[in-house]
Copies of this chain bind each other. A is one copy, B any other.
Amino acid sequence: MIRNAAYCLTLMTLTVNLAWAGPGLPEQSKAFFQPVPSAPPQLAGNPSSPEKLLLGRMLYFEPRLSASSLISCQTCHNVGLAGADMQETSVGHGWQKGPRNAPTTLNAVFNQAQFWDGRAKDLAEQAKGPVQASVEMNNTPEQVLATLRSLPEYVELFKKAFPQDQQPLTFDNMARAIEVFEATLLTPDAPFDRFLNGDVAALTDTEKTGLSLFIDKGCVGCHSGTNIGGSGYFPFGVVEKPSSDILPLDDTGRFKVTNVAADEYAFRSPSLRNVALTPPYFHSGKVWKLLDSVRIMGAAQLGITLTGGEAEQITAFLKTLTGEQPRVEHPILPPQQDDTPRPVLTGTGS
């Protein structure tokens, strides 16, 4: 009798699994998505080495890259907060609010390009932006180099990280080292990755329904690949423009980069990896609840009204994109020297 009951239970489970995850869903998923690998990819023209990685980790946490000596990459891309900062838009030099929500650095190496408008082709190019933005770190390449050159540990480490270079300590090499570190900020082994790797039980039935909806309703059109996003530019509000608090009229997105009419209010689709960990949402950071974001996207991008159940199922699926967060040892930074430039708290133009 117990044996029969167990048998019945197995059969029921099997039936349910077949209903939700039958041959179709795993194969369909593999056609659209790839799991996050546990090792960083090779970077074109920027090979990794232990020295470069250490240097990059130090620079990522180095507040002296900013004029104030208060703001580092880590400030807005906190490795303990899924590579973001929980702000609508980031706060920089002089407590100024920046124009857009900080995209996560986790898995960012798999994005086609960087920034919401894709204006940086890779993480190295990206890293040079905030350092110089008056609303962020408000610094200049010259001042950054003066700072780094005043610190003997950095001088040594740049030499070791870029042994081929006549002049290893440059602004570009700073950015390359940061890129090598950021490429290690990966979050493998999310439930969805286990599902992609063949473990059909890694998702619950609700999550599988959400995945089916995500594919069938068309979300996958802009959110696919390893990062489930980050691979193309799409007008926000292609079917129905969201309200102007969510889509501020003065931020025309990729149009600012290309000056092409078709790019007005186009943004790089964000990666949905770890999306449950990184509210608030959208480039404006105006929406705090993931469920609301899903509904807004349905209306704005697909012209559909998701039922309460559907939005919840898709949200449940999105939560399976939370992977293992990177474990990072806080670097010990070189001590200030007598000739190290001192913090400058004033000014907002560099």
Binding site for B on A (CB under 8 A): 61, 63-64, 68-70, 75, 78-82, 85-88, 91, 94-95, 97, 276-277, 279, 288-289, 325, 327-333, 335-336, 338, 342-343, 345
State the majority secondary structure of interface residues on A.
loop
Find out whether the CB atom of B327 lies under 8 angstroms from the CB atom of A329: yes
Listed A/B pairs (9) with beta-carbon separation below 8 Å: A63-B85, A69-B85, A70-B91, A79-B330, A94-B95, A95-B95, A279-B336, A327-B332, A329-B330
Tell me which residues across on chain B come within 8 A of A338, comparing CB atoms. Answer: 288-289
Tell me which residues across on chain B come within 8 A of A64, comparing CB atoms. Answer: 86
A86, A97, A276 interface centre (most CB from chain B within 10 Å):
A86
Find out whether the CB atom of A80 lies under 8 angstroms from the CB atom of B332: yes
Least CB distance from A135 to B in Å reads: 13
Least CB distance from A108 to B in Å reads: 18
Find out whether the CB atom of B330 lies under 8 angstroms from the CB atom of A330: yes
Find out whether the CB atom of B325 lies under 8 angstroms from the CB atom of A328: no
* Oligomer: number of copies: 2
Q: Which residue of B lies closest to A279 (CB)?
A: B336
Contact of A81 among B94, B97, B279, B333 (CB under 8 A): B333
Tell me which residues across on chain B come within 8 A of A70, comparing CB atoms. Answer: 75, 85, 87, 91
Find out whether the CB atom of B82 lies under 8 angstroms from the CB atom of A335: yes
Least CB distance from A290 to B in Å reads: 9
Tell me which residues across on chain B come within 8 A of A345, comparing CB atoms. Answer: 91, 95, 97
Least CB distance from A296 to B in Å reads: 15
Find out whether the CB atom of A61 lies under 8 angstroms from the CB atom of B86: no
Least CB distance from A184 to B in Å reads: 13
A193 to B199, CA, bound (A): 55
Least CB distance from A249 to B in Å reads: 23
Least CB distance from A176 to B in Å reads: 21
A332 to B331, CA, bound (A): 16
Find out whether the CB atom of A78 lies under 8 angstroms from the CB atom of B63: yes
A331 to B63, CA, bound (A): 19
Q: Which residue of B lies closest to A345 (CB)?
A: B91
